[in-house]
Chain A
């Protein structure tokens, strides 16, 4: 099938929706990281309860249930887990955002110490 034929198979609304989705995705990719605090504190929650709050620049290894959380050189990762999927381990090192382990209900988030998000201010 040729490209022109392929385009004929899509409706106007298909194309509008695609443009809209690409735009929203692009906006989210650019904007969300700006609002994520980098560095600062590592929060470790289990079952929606805060278990640890640790500074990210202090190297440490903490076992929680079947998980091993490692903090090193301003980054955090799940070094090992006894869950079958190991999605949290595959995610690797992060210095912003979150690692979520569903089977263990563990959420590791990185919080900034400063209240204002980096990179955005009133003048720009």
Chain B
């Protein structure tokens, strides 16, 4: 791996961890409501640098994020890990078929993140399908809402990045 690439991944991972830390400070009315702002960074990385880069920064974010919040190897860690891998894989697959923009990819990412988490809960902790399905409406609602918010954030960020790189090229 090029030195440059390493720095870039480290910077993106740091951004994702910062987003993760920031969203934990926002009080939410429903305990399961997480905005998943880190997915903004994941999605941008996926679009610009591909699957390996996105998976790497997701794994770094989950590992370091859980160390910072003290949940390493606990249930939230396992849920994040499975959810994170699911979401990156699904977004990559959707990105490859080239019909979705950031909004669609973000919705898919949010949905598969939740799906992965529920599967992890079912497989590792609680084999009670009905009590998990009880949560389905809440989870779908949150997933759609945060998917749209993060998708719009990615559109704005990409637009801004494009303008900045245009400016750099013009001044050179």
Please, what's the 1-or-0 string for A98-117, where 1 marks a CB less than 8 Å from any CB in chain B? Answer: 10101101010100000000
**B59 proximity list for chain A (CB < 8 A):** none
Residue in A18, A85, A100 whose beta carbon sits within 8 Å of that of B131 in the complex: A100
Given A1-B156, A102-B126, 4 extra CB contacts under 8 A: A6-B155, A9-B101, A21-B144, A32-B136
Given contacts A25-B141, A29-B137, A102-B121, contact A11 B131 (CB under 8 A): no
Judge whether B31 and A13 touch: CB under 8 Å: no
- What are 17 A-to-B residue pairs whose CB atoms are below 8 Å? A9-B102, A9-B155, A10-B101, A10-B103, A10-B155, A13-B104, A17-B104, A21-B147, A22-B144, A25-B141, A28-B136, A32-B134, A32-B137, A97-B131, A100-B121, A100-B132, A103-B75
Chain A residues, CB < 8 A from B133:
32
Interface check A87, CB cutoff 8 A: yes
Beta-carbon contact of A107 and B108 below 8 Å: no
The count of chain A contact residues (Cβ–Cβ below 8 Å) is 34
A-B contact count (CB 8 A): 102
Q: Is A90 close to B, CB under 8 A?
A: yes
CB neighbours of B152 from chain A (8 A): 6
Give residues in B with beta carbon < 8 Å to A.
31-32, 70-71, 74-76, 99-104, 107-108, 111, 121, 125-128, 130-137, 140-141, 143-144, 147-148, 151-152, 155-156, 159
In the complex formed, the residue of B with least CB distance to A45 is B128
Instruction: Establish whether residues B134 and A11, one from each chain, have CB atoms under 8 Å apart when the complex forms.
Output: no
- Chain B residues with CB under 8 A of A6: 152, 155
